[in-house]
Amino acid sequence: MRIVFAGTPGFAVPSLRAAANKAEIVAVYTQPDRAAGRGRALTPSMVKREALERGFEVRQPQTLRSRAEREALRALRPDLMVVVAYGLLLPQSILDIPEEGCWNVHASLLPRWRGAAPVQRAIEAGDTETGVCLMRMEKGLDTGPVLLSQSIDIGEHETGGELHDRLAVLGSQVLGDGLGLLRAGIRPVARPQPEEGVTYARKLDKAEARLDWTQPAQVLANRVRAFNPWPMAEAEVAGERLRIHAAVAVPLDHQAAPGTVLAAGRHGIDVACGEGALRIRTLQRAGGKAITAADYLNARRDLPA
């Protein structure tokens, strides 16, 4: 079975490994190298690094819409194309090339959280369950029929980064199951997505990271979890801008203005919200590293105990 793999970030690496264990990888498509870091040096994607280590051919087109790219893909004679967080839209002319079509590993239980940031949006919304779907791709955004799926619970204090890593592994397992069936001559049954329950996981924006103290504490606690490690929640606390790494909602009744520090101690820093209070447990000062609230308070004796 000849497979073309398309993916870019770390989330896709376990799936690339799973595909390599089940079939012949004839080429790996990934996003062009991007400038990164303080020196803005061109940096390869994590998928490219993995592919080069394994000796796979790597291709990095800016777009797949040209005739030249269509012919280049067709010349590979792929039986299947596997797409995992690639970052480029595949036009119908590309989807039609592989004999078995194009499969996508998507980090949600479709049709909930179609789109770019399903992991973080699930946590932000307070979902207690999510999962992975192996989907046959169509022209629409994550609209294709589901071939296989697997669900998992979201931990009460689980961050976006932690859930991302678990789903990356789960996605590779589901992909491996699907490829195993195909190798055995069994095509997974394609189940159309239901029309009800569709939600969209819009791309994360750094501007979203600023916490609004007028909102309920539970809403803010969910965002703190969802936006860790990126874009990382930020808030003004007692006159200082801080990045919030970990916090929980506390059902406190208070009459204080949103943003007021209600109490501060080894347990954390309680900040008044529109409903309840947010207890900040781990934070980061400008130019510093992440520290516990207790360590922070050693330098902020002015805060109420």
Give the residue numbers of the binding site for (6S)-5,6,7,8-tetrahydrofolate.
108-111
Residues in the chain: 305
| Cross-strand pairs, 3 | 25, 80
Mark 77-115 as b/e (b = at least 16 C-beta within 10 Å): ebbbbbbbbbebebeeebbebbeebbbbbbbbbbbbbbe
Q: Are 235 and 227 in contact (CB under 8 A)?
A: no
Q: Which residue has the tokens 């006159």?
A: 239
Provide the 8-state DSSP code for 146.
E
> H or E segment at 244?
strand 240-250
From CA 247, how far away is CA 269, in angstroms rounded? 9
φ, ψ for residue 151, nearest 5 deg: -105, 155
Residue type, 238: A
Greatest Cα pair distance in the chain: 70
Summarize the annotated binding site as residue ranges: 108-111
For the record, the structure tokens of 304 come out as: 């109420």
Cα angle for residues 259, 221, 201 (degrees, 5° grid): 120
